[in-house]
Amino acid sequence: MQLQLERANLVVDDKGDPSHFDLPGWIMPLVTGSGYGVILPPQQSLEKIAQRNRRVLSSDSAITNAIFYQEQKWATCNDRDMIADNTCVTQRFVPSGESDAEPITISSIHLDANDEEKRVLKLQRCLELAPKFSPLVIAGDFNAEMLAGSCCHALLSSEDLQQTSQPLPPIDSEQLKIECTKALRMPVNSSPPQDEMTKWREMY
């Protein structure tokens, strides 16, 4: 889930630092006393994106991913290797009262809206957790359909095929062009520049 967090209050502390970020007021009635816990990135990461938003958008806000979970059903694991920034929040859980149960890892991600390479790198970063923290569930705003011909689809397919030592099946060049066109937000039936297609094939 993606949220725009708010300052807990507008009062700065005795060091002149602004207050920390917290859940927005509109969602508080839904989670307060409801038995839901929330996983957020550290305040340092939230402050970093807020600095960017103040500079670019003139808005003192922190937009971040979050994980909500029912505390009666799930307990969090204390892991130092989890990813925790405003575009990828990851946490391991075990069923409450079953400390010996196999944990499940949840990643809430927000992939870049315009850059396929950035989407691939972020997705790859999450997938690197899989060998150590499987089973792994990745959910969130992908900003892409991840259809055949896209580089994200190729990454996910290759990860799956590695389990059976099979090569990635060949893809039609027209499908590559279609997905590259969509990723560049170009009109349907147009052709991407040659340098973009070359870069796309290399990533694929």
Q: What is the pLDDT of residues 137-181, one digit of tens each?
A: 989 999 888 888 999 998 888 766 555 556 667 778 899 999 999
Q: What is the pLDDT of residue 19?
A: 72
Q: What is the pLDDT of residue 181?
A: 92
pTM summary value: 0.77
Q: What is the pLDDT of residue 118?
A: 92
Q: Is 96's pLDDT higher than 60? A: yes
Q: How far is the C-alpha of 28 from the C-alpha of 156, rounded, in Å?
A: 36
Q: What is the pLDDT of residue 58?
A: 87
Q: What is the mean pLDDT of residues 176-187?
A: 90
Q: What is the mean pLDDT of residues 37-64?
A: 88
pLDDT averaged over every residue in the chain: 84
Contacts (Cβ under 8 Å, ≥6 apart) of 52: none
Q: Is 121's pLDDT higher than 70? A: yes
Q: Is 120's pLDDT higher than 90? A: yes
For residue 81, what pLDDT band results from cuts at 50, 70 and 90? low
Q: How far is the C-alpha of 93 from the C-alpha of 79, rounded, in Å?
A: 10
